[in-house]
Structure 1
């Protein structure tokens, strides 16, 4: 019986990749906090995870190499964030406090996803090789 990594890890692999992408977006927001005209962006994690689940179940697939790839992409889940603060006149929509909080929370969630995947891999190694 073959081991299916999709069954073993579920959406945790995709979730980790999405959290990595969100880290990049939040870091860009923080880095551009003083850039005139910069618009803060973020990832709609729920939509991205739903699309990852659709890709994993194989509801959309490319039946011929000459067909366009129609699978959902994370590019469509990246949105501009609505500004919570009043415009300071430079057109920048980054709220540095909100970005830092979101970055910290995302980092903790990313770390917990990695710990979960590590425990799953350890369990698979034990089952396959009888190693401790």
Structure 2
């Protein structure tokens, strides 16, 4: 019986890719905290959920319905985050908020990596037996 790695690993590889992309954007926000006119960005996780929900439940019962070719690609939207305080020089980056978001994202990435390792270890045990 062949192992389907897409099914065996679940959504962990996609979650890690999302966390990696988000880390790059949050790091860019921290780097540009002194750049006049810069506004912090983030990824819209809501967009990914909407696309996943649409793909999972969509049944084409009428030729006028959207086809798979008409669907959005499952890539997160980059959105500009609204500041909690009004910016003085047009820069709305709040370093503490960005650092917190970066740390939470890093924690989520590490948690996802832990789950992926656990699944791979389980597959290894299944393949090699309990040696």
TM-score, normalised by the number of residues in structure 1: 0.80
Distance 1:105 1:28 in 2: 16
How many residues matched? 123
For residue 51 of structure 1, report the CA deviation from its aligned partner: 3.2
1:36-93: CA deviation from partner (whole Å, max 9, x where unpaired): 11110001123225535767x6x7756xxxxxx9651425x110111111121x2111
Structure 2: gaps spanning 5 or more residues? 59-66
- 1:13-28 matches, cutoff 5 A: 13-28=13-28
1:66-121: CA deviation from partner (whole Å, max 9, x where unpaired): xxx9651425x110111111121x21111111000000010000000001000100
**1:26, 1:99 within 8 Å by CA — same for their partners in 2?**
yes
Aligned equivalent of 2:62:
none
**1:14, 1:49 within 8 Å by CA — same for their partners in 2?**
no
Aligned equivalent of 2:80:
80
Distance 2:49 2:120 in 1: 22
TM-score, normalised by the number of residues in structure 2: 0.80
Change (3 A) 1:53 1:99: same
Change (3 A) 1:54 1:11: farther
Change (3 A) 1:11 1:21: same
Q: What RMSD over aligned residues (CA atoms) do the two structures have, in Å?
A: 2.4
Distance 1:70 1:13 in 2: 22
Aligned equivalent of 1:34:
34
1:120 corresponds to 2:82: no
Q: Which structure is higher in RCO with an 8 Å CA cutoff and minimum separation 6?
A: 2
Structure 1: gaps spanning 5 or more residues? 63-68
Name the SS for the 2:42 alignment partner: strand
